[in-house]
Every structure is written in structure tokens, then in C-alpha cells.
Structure 1
């Protein structure tokens, strides 16, 4: 009979934070294995020391390298893979001999732990039990005395070894976060926090529940003093009950945020972060409803026809020190709120209010992706709404685009009060395009009632088009192809025939 393999979590460093199960198994094991660096000292063994009986076989698994510089033919990863193979073979010999083997793991065995490499190589061959341990994440929160997440907040765990751009994106979009594996990655992590606008909130925890423990605001940390056993924490944004309303510490700002055509899947990390960081959200009520409610954040909804008033309201809030996100669907610079905000910001008394515009997925691009690639060549974007410009101007632009043989993306094609524009546009385009020109009718792309279909230009029925529909009218080169699975794909070649 073979022995049993145990992956035993030791917690963050204090021996008294082991579970009862972990202490029992360490005391009963035939073999106790632990990883160490080449200097021979093992933090895992030092944590478990009081539970060892002295009669067990100890297997010290010494890493061949501690930095990513090696002359191994397979590089750093190859050197480690060879080490894990050799280490697991040593443990397998004990298991085959009927000995129970406990592999010690700091924190939790399956949370960025060295044990997991033994587990992947041995657990399918031998009876195995994993004993969880208190993670460094929980230890850090306990030492800070602050909640990590509350209510509907989410927690993101991020390794500091990610590229700086990726770190920045993850931090910008996170509610709460813990960044692991600092040490030499600390300078990049600090820069990423600063670029994401999260540095002021970040806390630093070093050696939680171990000798030399240290906690302080991350912005105050000397990069040369940061060990591997440290984490950065962005705690919950929900204020404690006794927290006073923060006083404005200077001029606020307005960020015009593009949320894409529908729900959170279309939201960029940068936009998600700006929405989370705002003290106030301003926007058309329908669009505000797409943004999760956050405790302490004020929401100011309004009707869709008061863009100028909405822009001035947002700027006035920012002038009083508030961080304001103006919520706009799609891309805020395409028939949306960026123009209204910038127009108001260019006049007194708002000239000094900082304004940023964050892009979003446009409705045209979202619709095109569902149909194939109808915007693969030159195209024009036109709004059919005559609320802010006369129909004569719209018709002029449609004729110019049609004469230039451009694919057309038509926004705001119809509504309850505007019922003639689609038919007029169709008849105008038929003067320049063949009757069988593909027209993509995309309604509520990304939403619960999404419907995307392709019709011939001559068959375009205005009664089937409403304000939530976007039309893509092909050029003379646009193709409609039926694939073997029965689906239709619309695409416009990138090459254009010479005269």
C-alpha cells in the first residue's frame, strides 16, 4: 500500500495560525518536505518547527535558482521544471515505500504555492489531501484592520510580475485588489498604481504575522526596502460608519466615459476604473442604470434631451471639487456627450475645470462585428436625426457618401416622432447603389433583445427600424456570403478596383 500525500498550508507566518488539522498531520507524518532557497533556510520549516517530533524524515527541496538568470538550456522555466520533476520523484519514492508525506506550504498550498507543482505531478498517482491555510491576502487585511470587499464589490488578485501596462489596466478596473510578489517588481507596481489613479488608496503590508512586520501607505515605501514577502492592498471603497464626508482637496474633474453599446462586457478597463473612482455619476437615466450601484457614490439621472444642462451640471459639480463621471453610451465622441461637455467647458465659468474623454466601443463597430466585416474599407458615419440639423443637410451628406461609394453607418434612423427618414434615405441610396446591396440591420447589439440580420437595399422596410437600430449600407464592393454552417457573413474587401 502506498503512502498518502498531504499539501499542508501553514498560514502567513505565525505558527499559532496553523489549523488544527495542519498541526496534527505535521506531527504524524513519516516524511516532512519543504522548499528552500540555496542558502538552506526554509521559512516553511521555521513556521512548522514546533509541530515536528524530531523522528521524521525531512526532505529539503532546494531551488536550483532564485533569479531568472541561468545557463540551463531550457532557460529559467526549464530549470524549474527539471527541479520539480526531480523533487516529485524523491517524494514518490517515499510514497511508494508506504510513507505518508507532508509537503509544507506557506499560506495556502494552492494559492501561488510551491506545493502545487508537486500536486500536479503526484496527486493523480497517490491518495492526496490538501489542507488550506490562511493566505497572505487575509493576513494583510487583518493587519490593516480594513475590509477587502463589501456588498457587491469584487476582489482582484494580481501578481506584480505582470507587464506594467497590464498591471495598470487591471488596477484601473478593480474595485479592490491585492498585488502579490512585490520585491523587485515594486517600482513597476507603484507606477501602475499611480497611472491607474489608485496610489493614494494603496496600502503596503510586509511580513504580516512574521518578525519584521511593517504596514504603511504604499506611497511612502522606499523601493529598495521591499522584500518578496510583501503585498500591496487596495481595500474596500465602502467607507466606515464613522467616516466623515471627505473635504474637496482642490478642483475636481469631469471624465466623459464611453460605456459601449450595452452592458459590462463592452466596457474598457480604463472606463470601468473611472466609473468606480467617481464621487458622482451624471447621465441619461437609461445609461446610468447600466452602471453598478456603489455605496457612497451619488447618481444624477436626467432625460435624454437635456445634454447641455447635463454637461453644465457635471462641470459645476467638478468646480466644487467632485470627481464626476459623465456616462455616455457607445463612444462619447460619436453623437454623444463629449461634445456637449467640451462645448460647455470652453466657456466661463468652466474653463479651468479638467475634462477627460475616455473612448468606448461604438455602436457601428459593435454591429459590424456581429455581421462580419462590412466596414472593412472606407466608410462614412451619418446620423439621420433631424433634431439638430435639417434634413436637407442630411440628404446632401448621404448623396456625397453614396457618390463616393462609401459604406454608410446610419445612426438614429427612426423614432416614434421620426418615421420618414429611413425610407427617404433608402430611396436616395437606390439612385447610386444596386437593389441587392447588403444592408445590415442591427438592433440592441449586446443587449437582451439583440437582433442582427441582412436585407437587400430595395427590401429595407422602415417599419422594421426604430431608435435602437443601426443600419450599415454596403458599398458597390460589399459582399454577402453564405457559409457552410448556414450563417451569412457581410464583408467589404480592403482592395478597391482600379478605374
Structure 2
């Protein structure tokens, strides 16, 4: 079996810009190949050095010419690549894994491509991309290459100056490589195209020897081959200049964010964005714990029984220019923080503080999805918590919903100190519903302790029911069905008997 050939991009020079895949392949290679001038030094090998190991075969491909003038330059190099390909073919025929080290990207003005065209038709070949000098120079300058519909042109400095000037004048952004002795012609072309004042010069980007400055200020006698001329995005610069000067009072605001019933997969993109851009996160401590830590942000956890105080605290932060996310489990508008914040925000003091509500997947919908479609027809939502309303109001509403034959989603059915209300609610419902009415009991849906089960209304009790539980009480039409795979489904038909 023959070996595998890899052309591995190592990036522009900083060893930390090697990809994980490139590092892994270099470490595993039987044969490591690098190009070098006649002095024998190789930038690619220096970048890869931390990943080389004892026992690897190294092949140095020494160029017969580099920048020297010769009447037959192309023919000399083509013969050189033929000899190099033959050397690598011997390793590949012996079943060895061969990695060719490539500064930058293998297919971006790289020497590897000359080996690739000679060997890829005969051996298994993989090319691993790397960060190019163009990308590195743009990043080090802090100036984007293109924005919106701009066109980027990549040019070799070896083109005739007149040709370069014509192309530079016609493009939005550009990168000119292969400078060194061509620098004078490149500078003249930029000046002829009227682009010299926009041009930047970067040499040995991302390395200890990096130098970056306006191209017009560069001494031509100091320019090495490993340098690049950059014409960055004009659109970016134009729009940057229109932005307001920093230092004005920041505009704060409060976003009341629904986290859904469990992890990130239940979170909407809008909610994710609000959490990511917030300066402060405010909420009940267990809910805040569901948001990944970010050292840029301040977190303000509190007890679950101080909703008004939490709302006022969030509004005060926003009044000072902070972007505040108040988090709620499920949907913030369903027995959660939206009403509490908006109630406080209605006071005159806070009327100018922006407040928005970002919905989340509420527990009723989450539990329903796990069992089928019990909310397929009219339904209502009730809370059994009597902390903010008396039990006689709860009982009256339960009776009214049961008498109206609505499916009922029951939040907050029990807590550590409230265990009797599940049975009391069941008794109220049985005055209007059949004992065989299905009740879905969903707990920690989406979480590690998720459970969903179906019981008869007559058999409903508080066993296993807590604040992480939601009950779905069916109507007279709600149906329990067994699927062919043994799963139980519950659904409420959309048609109602006339």
C-alpha cells in the first residue's frame, strides 16, 4: 500500500496560528519535507519545529535558484520540482506518510502546488489550508480587506508596473505579494493609480520581526521578499469616519429574556444575542447558572422572592447606560419576570428606560411536545401558587376552566412547603371531569432528570410533583393512544362535537 501525501499550511509565521489539524499531521508524519534557499534555513520548518519528533525523516528541498537572474529560470525550477517529486515518490511507494510544510497556505503562491500537480494523480493526497500572509497583514493592521460588495484583487509584484497600475485603479481593495526587489515598481504603480496614500506595507506579519507602516514611508532598500502591500477596504474606512465619536453617554436598556425550559438548544437566536451583548445579567440564581460565564459581564443573582427589587435594580443599571438582561426560565411573560419588570417600569422614574421582552419556549409547550399534542384545541394556563393570590380565586378559576371543558396547563403545582394543593385541585376538577381524564405530568423537560408520564385524573397526587413540574389536564375530547413502537401519545382533536 502506498503512502499519503499532505500539503500542510502553517500560517504566516506565528506558531500559534497553526491549525490543530496541521499540528496533528506534522507530529504523526513519517517524512517531513520543507523547502529552503541555499543557505538551508526554512521559515516553514521553524514554524513547525515545536511539533517535530525524534525519528522522523526530514527532506530538505534546496532551491537551485531563488531571486537570482538566469536566462532559463523557469526550466531550472521545473527540473528541480521533477527531482523533488521523484524523491517524495520513493517515500510514498514505501508506504510512508509524507507531510510537505508550507508557510501560509499551500495553494496560495506556494511551492507545494508544483509537487501536488506531479504527485496527486498517483497517490492519495490531502491539502490542509493555512492562514495566508494577506489575512495576517489585514489582521495586524486592524483594517478589513473588503466590506459589502467590494472586490479584492490579489496581485504578484512581478507584474509590469503599467499592468499593476491598471489593475489597482480598477479594483476596490488589493494585496500585492512578492515584493523585495519589485517594491519600486509596485510603489510607482500605486502612485500612478492614485492609490499610494491608501496603501499599507507589512513585512513578516505575526512574527517577532514584523514591521507595518504606510507604504509611502517605506525605504525600498529595506524591503524583504516576505512582505505584502495592502489596499484595505475603502467602504469600511468611509463608514468608520461617519460613526459618532466615543465618549457620549451610552444608551442602556433592559431585555427580559426567556431561557426556555432547559439548555441552549431551547434558546432562540434573539435571546442568545441579548445574553451575549449584555453588560449585566440579573435573575434568580439557578436561572443565571444556566447562562455560560463571560468575564466581560457582571452577574447579579438573587432569591426567587424579590421580583420587584430585582426589577428596580435592573432598571437602575440600565439608567446608568448598562445593557441589562433579566433572565427568566421558560417564557418571561408566563408567570415570570416580564410582568414584574414592566410593573416597576411603569413608574414615572423609569418611563424613559427602554424595556423589551424576548419570548422563550414556555413549559406548557415543552411538555406538550414530549407527549404529542394535548394543547391541540382551546386551553388555559393557571398557577397553583397562592403566594400572590388566594386559594379561593385559584379554586374558582379551576372550576370555571373545568366547566368550560378547556385543557388546563397548571404551573407551580407544588413546592417544598405547598404539597396539599395538587389533591385539592384534583378534587375541584373531578366535580366537572371524568375520573379517566388523562393528566400529563412533565418534570424537568429538556434537563437531565426529564420525565413525562400520563395518569388518570382520579389517580393524580403530589408524589413526584414539585416546582419543576407542569401538569396538563385533558378536556373531555383529549385522547390517549398507543403507537406501534410502544410509545404513548396524548392529543386533543381540533374538531369539537357539535
Inter-partner Cα distance in structure 2 for 1:351 and 1:217: 42
What is the Cα-based RMSD across aligned positions, in Å? Answer: 4.7
User: Which residue of 122, 127, 130 corresponds with 2:124?
Assistant: 127
1:381-419, Cα deviation, whole Å (9 max, x unpaired) = 111111111122212221222122111100011112222
Inter-partner Cα distance in structure 1 for 2:446 and 2:423: 26
Matched position secondary structure for 2:458? helix
> Is contact 1:19–1:133 with CA below 8 Å preserved after alignment?
no
Inter-partner Cα distance in structure 2 for 1:220 and 1:286: 45
Inter-partner Cα distance in structure 2 for 1:273 and 1:351: 25
Matched position secondary structure for 2:485? coil
1:229-266, Cα deviation, whole Å (9 max, x unpaired) = xxxxxxxxxxxxxxxxx977234111111111122221
Structure 1, unaligned runs of 5 or more: 30-48, 59-94, 96-100, 147-178, 187-204, 224-245
Inter-partner Cα distance in structure 2 for 1:287 and 1:51: 70
Match of 1:484 in 2: 484
Which is further off, 262-271 or 355-364?
262-271
Q: Decide whether aligned partners of structure 1 residues 274 and 215 sit closer, same or farther in structure 2, where only a CA change above 3 A counts.
A: farther
Choose 1 or 2 for highest CA Rg: 2
Match of 2:349 in 1: 349
User: Which residue of 136, 139, 147 corresponds with 1:139?
Assistant: 136
How many pairs does the alignment contain?
Answer: 363
- Is 1:54 the counterpart of 2:75? The answer is no
Match of 1:154 in 2: none
Q: CA deviation at 1:136?
A: 7.9
Match of 1:196 in 2: none
Structure 2, unaligned runs of 5 or more: 15-34, 36-41, 49-57, 64-72, 83-91, 93-97, 152-172, 176-201, 206-226, 241-245
Matched position secondary structure for 2:348? coil
> Is contact 1:10–1:17 with CA below 8 Å preserved after alignment?
no
Counterparts of residues 43-442 of structure 1 (less than 5 Å): 53-55=77-79, 126-134=123-131, 139=136, 142-143=139-140, 184=149, 207=175, 211-213=228-230, 220-221=237-238, 249-442=249-442
Q: Decide whether aligned partners of structure 1 residues 470 and 138 sit closer, same or farther in structure 2, where only a CA change above 3 A counts.
A: farther
Matched position secondary structure for 2:325? strand
Inter-partner Cα distance in structure 1 for 2:408 and 2:313: 35
> Is contact 1:409–1:473 with CA below 8 Å preserved after alignment?
yes
Inter-partner Cα distance in structure 1 for 2:491 and 2:419: 29
Inter-partner Cα distance in structure 1 for 2:234 and 2:314: 31
Q: CA deviation at 1:353?
A: 0.5
Matched position secondary structure for 2:292? coil
Q: Decide whether aligned partners of structure 1 residues 183 and 54 sit closer, same or farther in structure 2, where only a CA change above 3 A counts.
A: farther
Q: Decide whether aligned partners of structure 1 residues 51 and 312 sit closer, same or farther in structure 2, where only a CA change above 3 A counts.
A: farther
Match of 2:55 in 1: none
Q: Decide whether aligned partners of structure 1 residues 248 and 110 sit closer, same or farther in structure 2, where only a CA change above 3 A counts.
A: farther
1:125-146, Cα deviation, whole Å (9 max, x unpaired) = 8422434422689737851579
Match of 1:447 in 2: 447
Inter-partner Cα distance in structure 2 for 1:218 and 1:259: 38
Inter-partner Cα distance in structure 2 for 1:123 and 1:405: 72
Inter-partner Cα distance in structure 2 for 1:136 and 1:340: 54
Matched position secondary structure for 2:409? strand
Q: CA deviation at 1:352?
A: 0.4
> Is contact 1:261–1:330 with CA below 8 Å preserved after alignment?
yes
Inter-partner Cα distance in structure 2 for 1:217 and 1:432: 73
